[in-house]
Amino acid sequence: MHQPEFLEVTAKNKLVSKVQYQNYEPGEFTNICSRTLSETLELIAHFPWQEYRHPECIKLTGPSITVEHPAGRFLKIGPYYNKTYCLYFIDETEKLQVHIVSDLTDCYAAIKAIYNNAEPFISNQRAPFYEDPHKHFVTNSFEYTVNKNRILAFIWYPILFHTFLFLLVFTLGFTDWEVFTNLLGITIGGGIFALINGPNLYLLYNYYKHSKNLYLKLAKGQNDFYSGPKESPKKYLKEDVEVVHILSNHGSKCPWGHNTVFKIIFKNGEVLQISNLLIKTSVFTTKMPENMMEWKHKYFASI
């Protein structure tokens, strides 16, 4: 690819550049590699821009190429309306700036600038609001294991929430505080608590026992994923999956209805079972093809 004279720099420094496609999620990239300026320009020149000239492709996470600087600055090039391009830039302060350019040649100066530790552009255009724009630029590994934060998030609702609600109702329901020293009162209260939270506590134990040594790497746009023991996870392909059964109690008032098991059945008969202690239900269901998933009622979704 012929380069304009102002891009003919002698510096051999490399920056990481990476690619996103239409069905990727925030933080998901491919073809991640340290490249020189000319190599990055080649990557941009050969990207299939014309395939993504659709309104649904014009977004911060979509078909694009991102260049990242070790100082925490990121420059992303994506398609825009009327065969133009949009430059998205975020600096160390995580402030998002956008700049619309007419063709790829106009992107070259911005790319050269970030390679030379300079601001790629100064824009007076109003950037769209994103609650957390930084996550659209930084690479996410999409690795899932059971840790303390995941356990706390899992038990907050319904276990801790139900416990708080029970204590509140139980306390306000009795004006005679001697009930707390009365064996019958304690027995009744403990029985109600066990009835509400007993199944949740058992399923937490069941899921933790099954998942404590498991590793899962799963991204929306990638056909392959990894699951198995942390020391030796196995590679799988989504195209080899026959069906995914999402098992939970569908009763609207079921205290343990939030507990869920994902049963992945492969065409060769192999079965994987993953609980929502390892990965949230709302996260898992965005990563597998929708036509593969079937929601199934299971009264007690244990593994």
pLDDT on residue 200: 86
Domain-located, residue 59: yes
pLDDT of residue 118: 84
Residue 271 near residue 265, CB atoms below 8 Å: yes
* Cβ neighbours, 10 Å, residue 137: 26
> Count of H helices and E strands in the chain?
6, 14
Residue type, 91: D
- By CB atoms closer than 10 A (0-12, 13-18, 19+), residue 212 is middle
Number of domains in the chain: 2
pLDDT at 178: 60
Q: Are 273 and 246 in contact (CB under 8 A)?
A: no
pLDDT by 10s per residue, the chain, length 303: 444 444 444 356 899 999 999 999 999 999 999 999 999 999 999 999 999 999 999 999 999 999 999 999 999 999 999 999 999 999 888 889 999 999 998 898 899 999 998 888 867 666 777 878 999 999 999 999 999 999 988 887 666 566 655 665 566 555 555 655 566 555 656 666 666 778 888 999 999 999 999 999 999 999 999 999 999 999 999 999 999 999 999 988 788 889 999 999 999 999 999 999 999 999 999 999 999 999 999 999 999
Last residue of a domain, one of 136, 171, 187: 136
Question: Residue 120: what pLDDT?
Answer: 84
d(CA 86, CA 79): 6
65 plus 103 within the same structural domain: yes
Q: Which residues, other chains included, contact 176 with Cβ-Cβ below 8 Å and sequence gap of 6+?
A: none
Q: Are residues 65 and 111 in the same domain?
A: yes
pLDDT at 121: 80
Rounded to an integer, what distance in angstroms lies between the CA atom of residue 93 and that of residue 173? 51
Report the predicted TM-score, pTM, of the whole model to 2 decimal places.
0.83
Residues 167 and 123 reside in one and the same domain: no
- Residue 183 and residue 61 in one domain: no
Going 167 to 168 to 174 to 178, the CA torsion angle's sign is positive
The last residue of one of the domains, among 86, 112, 136, is 136
SS3 state of residue 8: coil
Same domain, residue pair 125 and 187: no
Same domain, 21 and 86: yes
Whether residue 162 sits in one domain with residue 128: no
Q: Distance between CA 297 and CA 259 in Å, rounded?
A: 12
Give which of 64, 73, 138, 127 is closest to 96, Cα–Cα. 127
Whether the CB-CB separation of 168 and 187 falls below 8 Å is answered with no
Do 47 and 170 belong to one domain? no
Tell me: do 10 and 124 sit in the same domain: yes
Instruction: Give helix 183-211 / helix 148-155 axis angle, nearest 10°.
Output: 140
Instruction: Find the distance separating the first CA and the last CA of the chain, reported in whole Å.
Output: 56
Judge whether 287 lies within some domain: yes
173 is in which domain, residue-wise? 143-297
Cross-strand bridge partners of residue 66: 18, 76
291 belongs to a structural domain: yes
Residues in the chain: 303
Q: Is residue 303 part of a domain?
A: no
